[in-house]
Chains A and B, each alone.
Chain A
Amino acid sequence: MSTFDLHMHPVFKRAICQFEDEYPTKRDAGELAKHFDLAHDLAEWADENIFHILESQCCVDQLTSQKGPVFGVAAISPIERFFTHRSGVFGKLLNGSFTDPFDKTYMNRIREGEISYYQLYLKELGLYRKLQEDDRIRWITRKDNKKALGATDKINVVLGMEGGHALCRSLIGRPGTKDTKAKTTADGHTAWDKFTGEPMHPADGLKELQQSLWNDGIDLFYLTLTHLSHIGDQFLATHAYGMKMLDTPESYPQGNGISEMGKEVVRTAYTLNWKEGTKAVNAPVMIDMKHMGLKSRQDLYRLRADMGDKKLPPLLATHMGVTGYSVAGWKAALIGNTPRVKEDPRNVGFTIKRQDAGEWGVLNKKFNFNAWSINLMDDDIVKILESGGLIGISLDVRILGWQDALHKDDIEEFMSPEDFRCHFPQEYARIFHKPLGVESMTAEEDWFKPAKEERHPLALCFNILHVASVGMIAGIKDAAGDSIDPWDHICIGSDFDGLIDPLKNVRDAGQVGELRPLLMRWLPEAEKAYRKELAGPEVLAGQDLSALVEKLLHTNGREFLRTKWI
């Protein structure tokens, strides 16, 4: 029994618990494959709370414990500067004594701007290479595809980059300042050898990286253009607000969509070539829309249209949930009076009424999608399906949605003033008459503690069903005029070890197999509840449920790689 995961971070926690000055790593592959243990007394009793986020979720050992071969994307996302400020519960947690296994050197280097994000990326990549050299993982690449995709054992991963900040070669926070490359022993890693520490335009850097990887038998599958913070050193696109646990200026989106530099990176990614001898081989890198602000996503569609999107690689949404709304519906669901101007940095806070997804089976309580614009609008779903793309549904309960309980009523999100004005021109005009609200004296630490129900697989089912339902209602055809079946374009993008709070029963990659019986059991239940709430077509009618679940958990992802990528 195989599984496919469009977005996971198998060595992330190992990477940040020991900062190594040298390259390549001196660590043992066996150690790199191991669980990450939170050696703190509190972790024991602190079940059902934030420590979930820090537990090991998809280390190589956990992946290996799955019964069949594993396919997936190893996404590397260097820790951003804003994680290293000691503000908010999370900031204190990551930088305080609660997280003993985290290496403080790692956080300090980032905070003080003593290393580049690119070097951090290469170092984490180095850990994967160590695992690969020790035969614990196998790379899936366009060069050597058949072997990996046909594999019947092992962990088969393709490389991803989460956050364009990873392309920034200047010292963190010091644009244009040369990075000092760590001490090296001969290793034959082209990307590392080529890295001089000199700053480089991200589009050029991407080209160089992809060529180097190719030389070494690795292949970059996708680039997530933004991550969770505003990267002033190298601004590619306005990100979607997504981190309430950290209250630092960089958490708040700035700008107005994709920047000129960001556009160039996208154009470069879509048109990359490899040089093989004298021959140029088309080798585009796909763009993942996760974390991009709504305006940035709309800019991406426009940019693709300008480039002639028919011939471009498909769109990816690698670890997302849905808002349950079309953009128009989402705007209409803005709760009046909630928009407010926020200072330091200038932002607009606002709250959208969440869309009901259905009742929780026997519990007779509503489940709502997460209405934050970090999630997919119906328009996004249609765009992705039209492009023949792939949507990975996250296993993070905070992304999937909420129970409609008293304490989780409406949660404020933030947008840059320009983005907000772009989506809500009238509201914007109204709030300029309002005086600034008095800023709260302490950062609001709105800790979301999921209820038992929210960890239930129904939360995942509702998100999956919504994508299928939107796809069917839209009746999308591909370039050849054939109908696109949305069920072929949905998979799991767990985001394990990406600081997520996972679903019940699938707390880590070792338990992904459990999703089979759970989806079999709950998809039909969820469909009844969903249709009762939102009507729509019978998306499960005529489907062989077990084949469908197999597609979601495995075949869709692999087929996508086989047909759309390789």
Chain B
Amino acid sequence: MKKNSPQNEGLRNRLAEIGIANYARYAAEINITKANIQLNREGKIPLTAVAIDGSKVSNRMSKEEGFSMADALERVNGIPNFQDVSIVGRVLRLSRSVCRVLIGSAQGNSGFGTGFMIAPRVMMTNNHVLPDMSTAARSYAQFNYELNDEGRAMEPVSFKLMPNELFFTSSLERRSGDDLSGLDFTIVAVEEVGDQDKSRLQKFDFVRLDGSLGKIIDGETCVVIQHPKGDYKKIVLKDIRMITANEDVLIYESDTQPGSSGSPVFGMGTAQVVALHHTGVPRTDAQGNWLRKDGGPVQPGDPDDAIDWIGNEGIRISRIVDAIRRASLADGMDKLRESILVPEKRSSRVSKDPEHSTVIARSVFDEMNPAGKPQSFTPTTMPHASILKFELLLSKDRRLRDAWREKAAEVVPGFISTTQLFPNSTDPFARRVHYLVLMSDGQPWKLAAEIETLPYVEACTPDLPSATDVFGPGDDAPRRTEEGFLPDVIYDDGTAEPNEDRFIKDWQNEDVIKSKLTEKSALRNWNWRMVNWDGVWNAPGPLRTTLTKNLARIRFVQLDTGYTRHSKIKDNLDLDKDLNFVDGGADAFDPKHGFGFKHPGHGTRTGSLTIGRPSKTIRDDGNQGLLTNENGDPFVKLIPYRVAERVALLGNGKDMVDGARTAIDSGTDVIFMCMGSHPRPMINAVVREAYERGVIWVCAAGNEVETVVAPAMYPGTIAVAAINPSRRPWHGSSNGPQVDIAAPGEDVYVPFWDKNNNEIMVYGNGTSYATPHVAAAAVLWKALHYDALRTKYTKPWQIVEAFRRCLIASKQDHHKDTKKDIYGKGILDISKLLNVALPRLEDKDHAYAKEPPPDPGDLGIREGLHYLWNTFKRKLTKDPTESMATVGLTDRGAAALEALGALPSRKAMESTTSRVPIDQAKLLREMFNTVR
């Protein structure tokens, strides 16, 4: 670049400032590494001992393809002194791709930089070389500006830059909120034909960018190929060592003037480009003055090589590749971008002598890698890759789990992160649960199968969106008129019409209804009478006093779709504490509700049964929440957590797990959740976690799917079935031995909107409505016993178990026709619940005492279950005996379903067109028991 213009001086200073800042930030690591490098130069420690962070070494080892760990170690350690000729040859070949950038301005050439080709038609340099499209459009890439082996200047060839075809730049300065900024690089398309006749760009090689980590380790040698100050192409053959790397930059040694802006930095171990050079780092004194090698401050006019350069800094290629991948480009630029991101064909990393190498690897790497060399599988970095998420159950062996943290980045292609979901859990099972995020274009279930082959991983399940058990409007709601949601009153867009007449007609002969036919408010809160609750204000004196005092101490969280501004609930929610786990923001507002897109929030209806208040604006209002006072004010506010995309769709399972984890960690007393899905290890684990921490988690047993859904199916929860005014089960209620109790869930009066967006109340069905009754009871029970619980029980889980015992001890009977013990032991009776004594509990009463250890089951079965579950709901609305197609299933999943009898055998399918009817509900029930 042009020297000495004040503008350039300013830029150089700013660059150096950034370099100094980075250097200072990592000074502690740099000092250690530098000292280690010195020890390595003196032969005192091996190269692989230089790095502070051992995981870098493992990443680097993985690049030594085809060598055993021991050999790889030896190779890497030998490199600084003995360099394979092939590597030098490769670097020289790649040096052809390096060009001189002639920076153009309106006045002509204004300076020089260095650049290099990263795809057949794309060049990369620094942002501070080509900051914008207009500069690029006036600039050239010039190749062959170098001396040949006879020392004569070669004929240079210049190519125009074509920013209109591809241009992306990341500024020098990091801009807040833009994580693609601050990387100081520019990529730009290059014209295919040069200024010399017939000179074609393809003559000059290009350097393939590798976005993975591990191309170089601390202490390894690197070389910079450059046009220093626009001079002939040079390669620095001094022993320059890489010092350290942070997320964005690599810092490497230098005692000479800094390299030219935009030069590639190659790792000499792998001959791969590891960084884009962008600045030197001068030594400074306490006042920030640059220092000369003689120790004095740098004076104006001092040459660059008088300056005491302590390091050089380059932008990491992995960061650049990530930025290129995520950059939003102008239309038509994608094709050239893809040409950069196409992966190099990599041979799979299989040792030449696997058996032998494994043995050696164990002895060499005993401590680092107890399992020996990890297996690997096909790399899957592809241009159309997207982010995929998996839940993992790691090995029972702690050493393998420890190794996973170190190794994951190395052995999982496209690796982004792995997180332990319950680092502080009581439960050895929960502590094995991790969450893996990676980038791939592979089929998730196939990737899971590959990941399961790793020794660290026992089970790997894709975390894909799953249906819930709740039928939301617009989500294939059942159409059978005898079903819960009557199509004549509830529409596809989720609006409804009042249906009180139908309600009266159906139930006028039942005890709980018939005496109140003329008293509308009592008619509408029949559920209060059913659970034998008359409000805190009507409770006997001492009980009322205790409840009034202690209810405010309770923390009460709902995991659902979030809240709406329906006047039934909005003032009784705790909107200082709500959180949103689906959309990433902070507010649990349910965006699916809004004018023009009417969709009543599921959370609004279920929440209203606990804290709903009377409202003058609601036509035919009634049925306030069980936890409100005579004026409708709440004794305890409800904290909504949004964990589900919409009523019928759980997004990633982790959103729900995150919501529950946060609730547990912030000291919640009662959680309730009125939706469920198929079983999966992390839901199992988070339920257990809540149980061990003494959080009462009340769950809906499930709707229409017959079998009890997760999380209600797990022993740690309180599972609730639904009954109707005749004390009989609602026919849609799931049932099974896991159900603890039943509560009103059929024709319960809940808030809706009508077609004109007016707030109304409608009688609706679901175990979703039964659940809030029991949650409210749990809140009252906990408040009543707040102080007694802490003296009576030392183990947090005993609180949950005591509540379950008290619930059952105080139950009222089901209608005599009800099948025994599958809709819970009876019906909730709140007044009696608040009158039973706390039970004595022993360790054998722990809900998991007799529970077999959790078993994720075979991957094929997990896939089949996910598939079956998500298709089952569709089937409910159509012909329930319809046979299923295998579209979207992997062979393994299909084979598992076939073995379980869920699919007709493929052989049979070929020979006959007849379709075998399958009882999917029965099958689901079986599979729920297989996968826990």
Q: A residues engaging B (CB < 8 A)?
A: 42, 45-46, 49-50, 81, 85-87, 89, 92, 112-113, 173-177, 198-201, 230, 232-233, 235, 248-250, 254-256, 259-261, 337-338, 341, 343-346, 348, 363, 365, 405-407, 416-418, 421-422, 428-429, 431-442, 444-447, 449, 451-453
* Chain B residues with CB below 8 A from A439, complex form: 417
- In the complex the two chains form, is A49's CB within 8 Å of B288's CB? no
Cross-interface CB contact of B405 among A86, A337, A435, cutoff 8 Å: A86
Cross-interface CB contact of B28 among A89, A343, A431, cutoff 8 Å: A89
**Interface residue? B658 (CB, 8 A):** yes
**Nearest chain A residue, comparing its CB with the CB of B415:** A441
* Chain A residues with CB below 8 A from B52, complex form: 89, 92
* Chain B residues with CB below 8 A from A433, complex form: 585
* Chain B residues with CB below 8 A from A49, complex form: 27-28, 31-32
**Interface residue? B815 (CB, 8 A):** no
* Chain A residues with CB below 8 A from B577, complex form: 256, 418, 421
Cross-interface CB contact of A417 among B179, B586, B786, cutoff 8 Å: B586
Distance in Å from the Cβ of B229 to the closest Cβ of chain A? Answer: 27
Cross-interface CB contact of A444 among B27, B247, B580, B790, cutoff 8 Å: B247
- In the complex the two chains form, is B419's CB within 8 Å of A428's CB? no
Given that A201-B790, A249-B423 are known contacts, is A254 also in contact with B665, CB under 8 Å in the complex? yes
* Chain A residues with CB below 8 A from B587, complex form: 429, 432
A81 to B426 CA separation, bound complex (whole angstroms): 13
- In the complex the two chains form, is B247's CB within 8 Å of A440's CB? yes
- In the complex the two chains form, is A407's CB within 8 Å of B424's CB? no
Distance in Å from the Cβ of A435 to the closest Cβ of chain B? Answer: 6
22 contacts between A and B (CB under 8 A): A45-B31, A46-B32, A81-B423, A86-B402, A89-B52, A92-B53, A175-B693, A176-B692, A176-B797, A199-B794, A199-B795, A233-B424, A261-B667, A341-B584, A346-B581, A416-B666, A432-B585, A435-B583, A435-B584, A441-B417, A447-B27, A449-B24
- In the complex the two chains form, is B794's CB within 8 Å of A232's CB? no
Cross-interface CB contact of B658 among A86, A254, A260, A343, cutoff 8 Å: A343
A255 to B579 CA separation, bound complex (whole angstroms): 12
Given that A341-B585, A346-B662, A438-B179 are known contacts, is A406 also in contact with B288, CB under 8 Å in the complex? yes
**Interface residue? B852 (CB, 8 A):** no
**Nearest chain A residue, comparing its CB with the CB of B437:** A439
* Chain A residues with CB below 8 A from B11, complex form: none
- In the complex the two chains form, is B417's CB within 8 Å of A85's CB? no
Interface residues of B in 268-292 (CB under 8 A from A): 286-288
- In the complex the two chains form, is A431's CB within 8 Å of B658's CB? no
Interface string of B395-428 (1 = CB under 8 A from A): 0001000100100000000001101000111100
Distance in Å from the Cβ of B549 to the closest Cβ of chain A? Answer: 12
Given that A177-B795, A341-B586, A431-B585 are known contacts, is A230 also in contact with B665, CB under 8 Å in the complex? yes
Given that A175-B795, A437-B179 are known contacts, is A250 also in contact with B423, CB under 8 Å in the complex? yes
- In the complex the two chains form, is B662's CB within 8 Å of A254's CB? yes
**Interface residue? B86 (CB, 8 A):** no
Distance in Å from the Cβ of B856 to the closest Cβ of chain A? Answer: 22
A440 to B579 CA separation, bound complex (whole angstroms): 22
Interface residues of B in 1-51 (CB under 8 A from A): 17, 20-22, 24-29, 31-32, 35
Distance in Å from the Cβ of A419 to the closest Cβ of chain B? Answer: 10
- In the complex the two chains form, is A417's CB within 8 Å of B579's CB? yes
**Nearest chain B residue, comparing its CB with the CB of A177:** B426
Q: B residues engaging A (CB < 8 A)?
A: 17, 20-22, 24-29, 31-32, 35, 52-53, 176-177, 179, 246-247, 286-288, 398, 402, 405, 416-417, 419, 423-426, 553, 576-577, 579-581, 583-587, 658, 661-662, 664-667, 692-694, 786, 790-791, 794-798
Cross-interface CB contact of A173 among B31, B424, B585, cutoff 8 Å: B424
- In the complex the two chains form, is B576's CB within 8 Å of A405's CB? no
- In the complex the two chains form, is A449's CB within 8 Å of B579's CB? no
- Residue pairs across A and B with CB atoms within 8 Å: the count is 164
A179 to B247 CA separation, bound complex (whole angstroms): 42
A439 to B437 CA separation, bound complex (whole angstroms): 11
- In the complex the two chains form, is B796's CB within 8 Å of A407's CB? no
Given that A92-B53, A433-B585, A435-B584 are known contacts, is A175 also in contact with B692, CB under 8 Å in the complex? yes
A230 to B584 CA separation, bound complex (whole angstroms): 22
A49 to B35 CA separation, bound complex (whole angstroms): 13
Distance in Å from the Cβ of A182 to the closest Cβ of chain B? Answer: 21
- In the complex the two chains form, is A337's CB within 8 Å of B586's CB? no
A429 to B177 CA separation, bound complex (whole angstroms): 17
Given contacts A174-B692, A447-B28, 14 further A-B contacts (CB under 8 A): A50-B28, A81-B424, A112-B398, A177-B426, A235-B667, A249-B424, A341-B584, A341-B585, A365-B287, A417-B579, A418-B576, A418-B666, A441-B416, A453-B286
Cross-interface CB contact of B586 among A338, A428, A437, A441, cutoff 8 Å: A428
**Nearest chain A residue, comparing its CB with the CB of B35:** A45
A343 to B416 CA separation, bound complex (whole angstroms): 14
* Chain A residues with CB below 8 A from B21, complex form: 406-407
* Chain A residues with CB below 8 A from B177, complex form: 337, 434, 437
Given that A248-B423, A452-B286 are known contacts, is A447 also in contact with B25, CB under 8 Å in the complex? yes
- In the complex the two chains form, is B176's CB within 8 Å of A338's CB? yes
Give the one of B35, B419, B423 with max A CB within 10 A: B423
Given that A363-B287, A441-B247, A442-B247 are known contacts, is A232 also in contact with B664, CB under 8 Å in the complex? yes
**Nearest chain B residue, comparing its CB with the CB of A48:** B31
* Chain A residues with CB below 8 A from B692, complex form: 174-176
- In the complex the two chains form, is A407's CB within 8 Å of B29's CB? no
A198 to B843 CA separation, bound complex (whole angstroms): 13
A336 to B172 CA separation, bound complex (whole angstroms): 21
* Chain A residues with CB below 8 A from B405, complex form: 86-87
A438 to B319 CA separation, bound complex (whole angstroms): 13
Distance in Å from the Cβ of A370 to the closest Cβ of chain B? Answer: 17
Cross-interface CB contact of B576 among A92, A174, A422, cutoff 8 Å: A422
- In the complex the two chains form, is B179's CB within 8 Å of A42's CB? no
Given that A42-B35, A259-B667, A260-B553 are known contacts, is A432 also in contact with B798, CB under 8 Å in the complex? no
Distance in Å from the Cβ of B847 to the closest Cβ of chain A? Answer: 13
- In the complex the two chains form, is B584's CB within 8 Å of A447's CB? no
* Chain A residues with CB below 8 A from B176, complex form: 337-338
Given that A176-B797, A235-B667 are known contacts, is A250 also in contact with B28, CB under 8 Å in the complex? no
A199 to B32 CA separation, bound complex (whole angstroms): 44
Q: Which 9 A-B pairs have the closest CB atoms?
A: A176-B795, A432-B585, A436-B584, A432-B586, A407-B21, A407-B24, A432-B587, A199-B794, A255-B666
* Chain A residues with CB below 8 A from B795, complex form: 175-177, 199
* Chain A residues with CB below 8 A from B24, complex form: 406-407, 449
Given that A232-B424, A438-B179 are known contacts, is A421 also in contact with B586, CB under 8 Å in the complex? yes
A416 to B791 CA separation, bound complex (whole angstroms): 30
A537 to B423 CA separation, bound complex (whole angstroms): 51
- In the complex the two chains form, is B794's CB within 8 Å of A176's CB? yes
A418 to B288 CA separation, bound complex (whole angstroms): 41
Distance in Å from the Cβ of B328 to the closest Cβ of chain A? Answer: 13
* Chain B residues with CB below 8 A from A42, complex form: 32, 35
